[in-house]
């Protein structure tokens, strides 16, 4: 492969062709064009999996290159795909030349990034699907490197995130940034949240009189640092209800479990662990979801109509600008804490003030809704890219 086609120094080629990549195929109807999916993170996997299922059910042949946390999620799916011998993402793209390559956006080395190179290196059209609002905004410092590449189409979650994508990608034709919604959130159109809440709280033995908080972790160092502050400030509260704190760790969090246990042992209330319960189950069951920074689970909380709180470390808060705030904060549908000195006051308000909680829920209803057809719209964009 000519040097001009190689990924740049930020993303060495060897990092793109790791043996950790798993390769799956679906034979489908070979008269239809073949679609390649590259998946890596849990957010992207959950976002794109309904699209994979939709196109599989329509008979499209599918190649699935998958690594990192997405592999564990696939194990939970009744996917109907056949696992093949390990395959290099770039080699597969080069030799098979799929009709289109589809990926979450990722600046990490791995299959998702390999897919972003498909169009420039091999003439394969590329579709990016936004799995988190303004995900492009996290990588503006890389725009002069490998990520200068524009996809053929970008699927945006909402009109607001499309506007941000246009700002982040001024060289991209705005007509190719299409609002589709978020496929993983299609489920919220029909789900009975109250039923899930009651069933989950029963399993956890949390009664209606208790106030349950889910601490939804990201990765170190933010997750353990913020958790310590949460425990310290919850202990100082004059809460009107007994508090229950449940820790939900990020799938890629390798921070020692015993270190989290030491922090949780200092909490004056009852402590729970997620165990085998799904994120949606505990997300509906809780009265408040706390995240130590931008979080997919906090975004989902808005669709579930459950109040959420973003807490930023001092380092992260200093780097925040108005256009980098999580979308739920920007529209007033969540609580934000940018200085630990304000944490106790914010916790008291969101735990004790029902009128304030109701106002947050009203904002959620105004800005975060799903009609259940996002996966279909993303599939139509993929088909447009093939033509």
Four-residue CA torsion sign, 181, 185, 191, 197: negative
pLDDT of residue 140: 55
Taking residues 264-276, report their average pLDDT: 95
Taking residues 21-28, report their average pLDDT: 89
pLDDT of residue 159: 85
Q: Per-residue pLDDT for 241 more than 80?
A: yes
- 87-146 pLDDT per residue, tens: 666 677 777 788 998 988 755 545 555 565 555 567 788 899 998 887 776 655 544 544
Closest CA to 247 of 314, 265, 10, 296: 265
pLDDT of residue 138: 61
What is the distance, to the nearest Å, from the Cα of residue 129 to the centroid of all Cα atoms in its chain? 11
Q: Per-residue pLDDT for 362 more than 80?
A: yes
Q: Per-residue pLDDT for 15 more than 70?
A: no
pLDDT of residue 141: 53
C-alpha–C-alpha distance, residues 188 and 57, integer Å: 21
Q: Per-residue pLDDT for 1 more than 50?
A: no
Least confident of 315-324, 325-334, 375-384: 315-324
pLDDT of residue 87: 65
Four-residue CA torsion sign, 217, 234, 343, 213: positive
pLDDT of residue 117: 59
Q: CATH assignment of 3-187+372-386, given 3.40.190.10, 3.40.50.2000, 3.40.50.300, 3.90.400.10?
A: 3.40.50.2000
In the chain, CATH 3.40.50.2000 covers: 3-187+372-386, 191-367
Q: Per-residue pLDDT for 17 more than 50?
A: no
Taking residues 56-83, report their average pLDDT: 88
Taking residues 179-205, report their average pLDDT: 95
CB within 8 Å of 279: residues ≥ 6 apart? 216, 248, 297, 300
CATH class, range 191-367: alpha beta
pLDDT of residue 206: 98
Q: Are 383 and 58 in contact (CB under 8 A)?
A: no
- If you average pLDDT over every residue of the chain, what do you get? 86
């Amino acid at each position: 492969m000519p040097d001009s086609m190689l990924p740049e120094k930020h993303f060495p080629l060897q990092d793109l062709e790791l043996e950790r990549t798993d390769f799956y195929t679906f034979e489908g109807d070979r008269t239809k064009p073949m679609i390649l999916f590259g998946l890596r993170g849990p957010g992207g996997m959950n976002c794109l999996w309904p699209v994979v299922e939709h196109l599989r059910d329509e008979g499209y042949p599918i190649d699935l290159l998958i690594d990192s946390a997405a592999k564990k999620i696939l194990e939970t799916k009744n996917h109907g795909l056949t696992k093949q011998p390990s395959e290099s993402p770039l080699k597969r793209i080069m030799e098979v030349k799929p009709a289109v390559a589809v990926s979450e956006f990722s600046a990490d080395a791995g299959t998702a990034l390999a897919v972003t190179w498909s169009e420039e290196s091999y003439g394969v059209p590329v579709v990016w699907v936004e799995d988190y609002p303004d995900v492009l905004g996290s990588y503006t410092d890389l725009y002069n490197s490998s990520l200068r590449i524009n996809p053929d189409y970008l699927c945006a979650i909402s009109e607001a995130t499309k506007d941000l994508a246009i700002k982040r990608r001024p060289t991209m034709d705005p007509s190719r940034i299409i609002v589709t919604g978020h496929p993983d959130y299609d489920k919220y159109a029909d789900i009975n949240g109250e039923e899930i809440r009651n069933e989950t709280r029963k399993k956890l033995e949390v009664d209606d009189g208790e106030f349950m908080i889910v601490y939804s972790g990201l990765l170190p160092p933010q997750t353990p640092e913020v958790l310590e502050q949460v425990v310290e400030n919850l202990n100082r509260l004059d809460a009107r209800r007994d508090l229950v704190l449940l820790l939900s760790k990020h799938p890629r969090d390798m921070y020692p479990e015993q270190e989290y246990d030491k922090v949780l042992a200092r909490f004056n209330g009852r402590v729970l662990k997620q165990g085998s319960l799904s994120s949606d189950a505990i997300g509906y069951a809780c009265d408040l979801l706390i995240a130590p920074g931008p979080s997919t689970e906090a975004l989902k909380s808005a669709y579930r109509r459950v109040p959420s709180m973003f807490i930023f470390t001092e380092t992260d808060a200093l780097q925040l600008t108005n256009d980098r705030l999580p979308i739920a904060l920007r529209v007033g549908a969540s609580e934000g804490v940018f200085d630990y000195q304000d944490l106790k006051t914010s916790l008291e308000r969101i735990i004790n003030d029902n009128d304030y909680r109701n106002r947050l829920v009203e904002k959620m209803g105004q800005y975060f809704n799903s009609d259940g057809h996002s996966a279909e719209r993303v599939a139509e964009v993929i088909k447009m890219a093939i033509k």
